[in-house]
Amino acid sequence: MEVVELQAAHCDALLRFFGELPEGDLTFIEEEVTDPDVVRAWAAGKAPGRRWVAVDDGEVAGYVAVRPLPGWSSHVGEVRLVVSPTRRGSGLGRQLARQALVSAVGDGLRKLVVEVVAEQGSALALFTALGFTGEALLRDHVRDREGQLRDLMVLAHHVDETWSGMATVGLSDALGQDLD
């Protein structure tokens, strides 16, 4: 399995990946990820942020993006992560999240945020292990495709405040510097 920056050559495989996600997963993705124009714009660099795919034998098994926020929040990046249901629990999500975190820090972002539906315990555990902490709970903030309201948690990683935590999870090696 290889994690690489999204390129035009990955578009068809990424569209297949999103097209094969269960309906419930699509509920919690804000972008129109099954729209070929959206995916092609990402690959062409016509949308803000950076994106990576986990590729296994030509097929996409996971996707992660870091999108810088505009204006006065330009030091903040929003993380989006999706892993194939068949690969969940394999460590792929952690690998993709670490890629996003390392790249975002290298790009100079000072804070990362991720939105997680409160029932997604494994996603909460994954980001907490990488130094993200709860910043907000938005009750009844997400309506799923069946009309059910769900709570949304906003987790944040404050880079300057968590250097020691980053060193603990091995990001100092990935960044090639001593973070203590």
Three-point CA angle 160, 163, 165, nearest 5°: 130
Residue 116 lies in a domain: yes
pTM of the model: 0.85
Residue 159 lies in a domain: yes
pLDDT at 136: 95
Q: Domain containing 13: what range? A: 2-170
CB 6 within 8 A of CB 53: yes
121 by Cβ neighbours in 10 Å (0-12 / 13-18 / 19+) ranks as exposed
Residue 155 lies in a domain: yes
86, 79, 29: which is closest to 61 by C-alpha?
A: 86
120, 122, 117, 123: which is closest to 144 by C-alpha?
A: 117
For tokens 């949308």, the residue is 47
Tally the domains of the chain: 1
Residue 175 lies in a domain: no
Residue 128 lies in a domain: yes
pLDDT at 173: 61
Burial 123-151 (b: 16+ CB within 10 A, else e): bbebbeebbbeeeeeeeebbeeeeeeebe
**pLDDT tens by residue, 10-59:** 999 999 999 999 877 776 677 888 899 999 999 998 989 999 999 999 99
Rounded distance, CA 5 to CA 180, Å? 29
CATH of the domain at 31: 3.40.630.30
Residue 81 lies in a domain: yes
Residue 33 lies in a domain: yes
Q: Residue 165 pLDDT more than 80?
A: no
Q: Residue 163 pLDDT more than 80?
A: no
Residue 179 lies in a domain: no
